[in-house]
Each structure stands twice: as structure tokens, then as C-alpha cells.
Amino acid sequence: MKGKLATKSLAFDVNETEPIICYAATMISSEGLWHKENPLNYSLPLFLLQLLLVLVVTRLFVYILKPIRQPRVISELMGGIILGPSVLGKNKTFSDAVFPQRGEILLEAMANVGIVYFMFLVGVGMDAQSLRRIGRKAVTIAVLGMVLPFAIGALFAVYLIKFDGISERSTANVLFIGSILSVAAFPVLVRILAELKFINSELGRIALSSALVNDLLSCLLLIFSINLAQRNKPSITMLSTFLSSVGFIAFNIFVVRPGVLWMVRKTPEGETFSDFYICVILAGVMLSGLITDAIGTHAVFGAFVFGLTIPNGPLGLSLVERLEDFITLLLLPLFFASNGLKTNLGLLDDFREWVILITLVILTSIGKIIGTMVAAFYYQISVRDGAVLGLLLNTKGVVEIIVINIGKDKKVLSSESFATLMLISILMTAIIVPGMSLISKPMRGMIPYKRRTIQMSQKESEFRVLVCIHTPRNVPTMINLLDATNPSKRSPICIYLLHLTELSGHASALFLVQHHTAKDPDQPAYNKTEAQSEHIVNAFRNYEHHAFHVSVQPSTVISPYSTMHEDVCNLAQDKRVAFIIVPFHKHQAVDGEMEPTNMSHRTVNLNILSQAPCSVGILVDRGFSTCSHLAPDQKSRNVAVLFFGGPDDREALSYAWKMSENPGINLTVMRFVHGEEVMHQHSDLSPDESTVLTVKTDKDSQKKLDERLISWFRTSCEDDGSVVYVEKMVNNGEQTVAAIRSMDDIHDLFIIGRSEGMKSPLIAGLTDWSECPELGAIGDLLASSDFAATASVLIVQQYFGQGTEDVLETNQEEEQTLPP
């Protein structure tokens, strides 16, 4: 190595030379082991082995880092570092056999093809129209958040250059370091926000818009830095490159985009795009990359701009569906891993280097946070939210790695500097999720509110309900159930509507997020998910328009099923709702059988039941018609409550009580009592026997609360002819089932408590054959296909937390003083 100084530092050594490698163009595939040939001496088998190792190691890191929610880019870079000279590559036998220098050409070429097409998908996923709708707030936050990190990085670059006595490319060095440390990675940020459940929040939308501005500015810095890497200072050649890039963008806007729109118009609605059109677009990606590389920028810039010309709609969806898995699961890991393979952390063997590295990471991260907080303060955003924004905008990803890679290729960065910057990118991205968890989760847990149940909600106040929808099939019965809840002027209903959508893949997540955050109301749906969202929202908007005293606030959750419950619970807590309603994971088929819709929905329901900050209801949908606007001669809807006792049954009765005020509802409350207990209560106790039990058990407390609510309910409804109260004496589970089956087959809806863990002789033996234990013993019976009924079932679980019973008793005592 020439020009290497004796003193080690984080140096920019521009005089590095690489050995010349002879490459045999004809050695593509071997004749096989049986001809005593080593397949790894040939290009194709060597590349296949390299690709296999990259995939295995990166997926292993994805699995290891998944519990701490690290973005996939971290796993892919770590995989490359493990395979490279930092760990396994230290073994010369392994590196010469698996990653020899002669194999770098094919590996690098395929990795760069992958990144070109990935940036094309990023462009497709962005809504070009949304660029014009980015607010001044996002631009200000993005720019101020870049200034301090850029300045800190520039100062460090100047210091390092002077230390090594190298000055001929100082401007390029300063720009490289400053741009890498100051920009944010929009695609990676989308995934992080989705994992942290911030993607639907106002803070998340600001972060996405600011990161988008950051990414666009980073593209400009990328173009500028590439040209500065070739020469000492701005020149006429740089001006030519800049003007050529502007001309390329204009050509895409005024020529390419109209051509793509013509393809869309020539394809009938609902039909797939022809292979010819898809082939033309894929060829356009390669041509765009070739042009921008020829004019002196980079192939990824051309692919990204070409992707922006693809209009949101079926064409964009078709391209994403065809390319996403191959690009993001196969070629993109190859790009990140190839950079990891070039990272030799062993070169950073001086304590001073690590001090500089850690100091640089800390200062730039703090600089980004301070700059963002200044902008946030100007726009009256809280200090905490400003700090969260600054932390989020520290995300590094594809563009930053590309800039570092170009710096290495153009000899602007030495091997030591390359390893340093790669490690900085990993560390700055890795600290985001833990940092966000420390900041946001304690704050979420501190949000206090008392009206977490229906029973504790005041009758003359707004009733807040969070409604979860998976498919349009859930909509009619859900709307009719809410309408039957009797919204009134005294007690209006605020409905927080959530369409639950699975997050799968990287580009598709970006595609959905962009469309949901910046959607033109007049723009038609362009995929099945979007069409379903529009159908669901329109149905609830129509209900809101025709109903009285109802407000609807719709939103969409894009999340993996494994963490979807966190979105639901966080929104419920933020909005202080009293009741969450989720659809059962089965639906009724034409023959009456209950068939699974999606077993992942059951996982979501179970997680919500265990972690909800308020009461929860699971709706088993067998059809429930509307009843609030019935004509006088029309039949009312019949609702039945099966009351066994306990907090869940009290919550179910409280919900049915609200419904009983609806003139179109006939309510029947059937209370099941143990026959032996009734006989015991009516027997006379001797004075000695009455003093034996002196300890008040929890069972006694629950019975007291049951009696209080039942007594108050009967007193309030004694003059209401639409409410019927009956008591049924049973002694065991068999008699309970017989009593339920003997009920008139006229009921449209059963409301019952979940009563998990309740041990009562009234349901003895029923839990032994439960198919869905989350519904409780009685709920599972009513929801089963064996139960001969066409009624829907609402299974209710009451929230129980610290202080709940104290508030409950106080609330009931206050309510008892009200007139009937």
C-alpha cells in the first residue's frame, strides 16, 4: 500500500492501490466433482455458494435481533461483517475458498443490480403527488435536523484530513462525511415506525415527511459528492452533470410519465398488465440507470426517478408484487452483505480511533436531536416529541450505504474510513429502537383515565368505542350493533374505526404507507387492501351521515399480526375508550357452519384480551339487522343476556342496559342461579352458625356487586315493557345447556360475559370440550356450529386493573342516588 503513514488514524488514504486480478472469462461452470475439479474455481458455483451463505447468515441475524426489533438492514450488514475479514474472513483458507478476489466482480455486479431495482421500487412506492403536498413544517424539521450533524461531521473530516496531511480532496471528504451523518433513510424509517406502532400517529406522519425531504436532499448531495470525488473543486464538468440530471428528470416528467399513463389507459380496468408492458418498464429501469451513470451521477438515481414516474394504481401494485420478494429477500441482502464483506473492523485497532468513533456517533446523534427540537419548538411541538423526532431521523439505510460505497470505489475513503463509517451507520440505526422504547413506552403507560369499562362510564357522557375491522364482511353487523347501542343527545357515541391490515414486505409497506398518508380523496383504489379500506370507511361514513349523535374517526393499522394488538391497545389508551369490539376469527358459511376466516385473527384477539387497557367484546357474526329506524308495524330485535355472575357478566349486562333504551330493542335478562344456594339462603341459620363465617371472601364481594347491579337494573326497568327479567334455577352444566337450548328461537343477539377462570357448578364440564376458550364456556357453546341458533353473540370481558373496584363502588353509589 502506497502513501501509508506510520501513525494510525481514521484516515482518508486516497493513494490505496489494489492488486491486479486475472479473471478467466470462460470459467463459468465446472464439469463436476467426478472429473476431479473444484467447483469453487468457477464463477457460477462460487456465486451460488456465496449467495447461499449470505442468505443463511443474514436470516440468522434477523431471527436473533427480532426480539429487540432491529431493522433488517442491521441484520444484513452484520451478516456481511461476520462473513468478511472482521470474523470468518480472518481465516485465509475460508476467504480464499469462498470469497476470493476473483469472485468480487460477479458478487458486486449482482449486488448493485439489486440496489438499482430496490431504489426503483422505493420510487414506485412513493406518491410523486405527495412531494408537492409536503408542508413547511416537515421541510423545516428536515433541514434544521441536518445542519448540526453535517457541521459536526465536516469538522471531524477536516480534523482527520489535517492529521494525515492529505488535502487534495478535502471538499469531497467533508461532503461525504457530512451527508452520511446528517441524512435519514426513509424506507428503513417506515419499517421502524411500523414496528414501534407510530406509523399512524401525527408524530409518525411528520417523521415520514421529514425523512422524505432528507432522502431527496441526500440524493442531491450524492450527485454533488460523486462529482467532487473526481476533482478538487466545482468545475464546468460538474455544471454539465447537474444540467444533464435536470434534463433527465424533465424527460421523465414530460415524456416517460405520459407514456406510462398511456399504458395504464390501454389496459382495461380489472385486467392484468401485459408482459410486454412490464418488460418495457423493467428495461426502462436499466436504461435509466445506464443514462444517469453515463452522465456522471449514479445508476440508483436514474432508477429512483424512473420509479417516481410510475403512477399510483394497479400498475405500481403489479410491479411491486412481481419484484418485491426477489429484490428484497435475495438481491438486497446481497448488497448490504457485500458492503459488510468489505468492512474490516480489525483495522480499527487503536484506542484513539474508537474514542473518535464513539464521540462522533454521540455528537451527531445529539446534534440531530437538538436541531429537530429547535424546529419542533418553533412549531409548538412538545420537547419529548421533538426528541423522538430527532432520534427517528438518525435512521441510516440504503442511500447512506451507497454514498459510503461510492467513496470507497472512488478512493475518497480508505479501508479504515470505510469500516468506520459502516460501523457508525450500524450504531446510529441500532440505537433508535431501544431509545424510542425508553422514551415512548413509559409515557404511554402514564396516561391515566378511569372510565375504562362500560359499567364505569357515566350515562350522560360520550361513549367511546374502538371498532376493529379485518374485512368488509365484518361491517354490517358491527354497524347495526353500534346503532342498537342507542346513541343519543345525552350519550353520543364516538367510534374509533380501525381497519387492521397485515404488514408484509418492505416495499409493499412503503407503498401502503405513502398512499394512506397522502391520498387524494378523488383517487380510486388501486389494490384490494385499499379498496377494502375505502369500502369499510365509506360504510361507516354513510352510517355517521344518516344516524344522529354518532361520530366516526377512521384510520388504518399496518402491522404484523404478531404485534397488531399493540396498535389497538395504544390507540385505545390514547383515545381513552371504554370498549373495544373485535370480530371473531370465524364466519358463518352458507350451510350454517362456522369456518375460520384467518387463524392469525385469533392470535390478535387473544393478545388484545390479555393486554387491553379497557373492556373488550368479541362479536360472533351471524347477522344482526338494524333496528333504530323501524316502522311501528315492524318487528323489534330481540336481545338476550345470560347472567351467571362476576365482573364480565356485569359488564355484559351494562352494555345490554344501554341497548334497552333503544325503542327497537326487546331485552331479556336470564339470570342463572344455583338451586342449592337458593335453598340455603332461604333456610334459617342458628345464632351460632351465623357467627362462624367472619371473613369476607372475594366470592362474597362479587355476589354483593352482582346483587347490587341486578337490583338497580330491575328497579330502573320495572316499568319498561320491552325488558324482561327471569331467573333460572340449575344445579349443573347439563341443566344450564338444556335451559339455554330451551329458550325461544327468536333472539337476534346474545350478550354474555367471558367469565374466564370462573369455577361454578353451573358450567361444570362445559370447558372440557371448548374449541375456543377465549370465548368462555358459554360463549364457546353459543358460537359453535353445533348450537342450533342463528343469533349473533357478543362475548364481553370487563377490564380489571388497580383501583377499578373502588371506582366501581363509588360510581354505583352515586348512580343509586339518581331517580329511576
| Rounded Cα distance, 302 and 248, in Å | 8
Region of poorest pLDDT, from 8-17, 142-151, 485-494, 583-592: 8-17
| Rounded Cα distance, 243 and 250, in Å | 10
Of the pLDDT bands very low, low, confident and very high (cuts 50, 70, 90), residue 641 is very high
- Cell triple for residue 464? 367511546
743-752 tens-digit pLDDT: 867 888 999 9
Q: Is 688 exposed, middle or buried (0-12, 13-18, 19+ CB in 10 A)?
A: exposed
Task: Please list, in sequence order, all residues whose beta carbon lies within 8 angstroms of the beta carbon of residue 428, skipping any fewer than 6 positions away.
Answer: 181, 361, 364, 365, 394, 395, 396
655-710 tens-digit pLDDT: 999 998 888 899 999 999 886 655 444 444 444 444 344 344 567 788 888 899 99
- pLDDT greater at residue 533 or residue 249: 249
| Rounded Cα distance, 522 and 355, in Å | 55
Closest to 314 measured CA to CA, from 532, 533, 527, 531: 527
| Rounded Cα distance, 66 and 86, in Å | 23
Residue 469 near residue 500, CB atoms below 8 Å: yes
792-797: strand order across its sheet = 550-559, 493-502, 463-469, 579-583, 615-620, 792-797, 749-753, 637-643, 665-674, 723-730
308-318 tens-digit pLDDT: 899 877 888 78
| Rounded Cα distance, 176 and 192, in Å | 25
151-177 tens-digit pLDDT: 887 787 776 544 344 444 456 667 777
Mean pLDDT in residue range 541-546: 92
- DSSP code at position 613: S
Closest to 417 measured CA to CA, from 741, 3, 8, 83: 8
Mean pLDDT in residue range 512-541: 66
Residue whose grid cell is 426513509: 186
pLDDT value at position 22?
62
Closest to 361 measured CA to CA, from 408, 396, 404, 409: 396
Of the pLDDT bands very low, low, confident and very high (cuts 50, 70, 90), residue 551 is very high
pLDDT value at position 253?
92
| Rounded Cα distance, 395 and 145, in Å | 12
Residue 173 near residue 12, CB atoms below 8 Å: yes
328-369 tens-digit pLDDT: 888 988 998 888 888 888 888 777 777 877 888 888 888 888
- pLDDT greater at residue 496 or residue 507: 496
| Rounded Cα distance, 750 and 620, in Å | 10
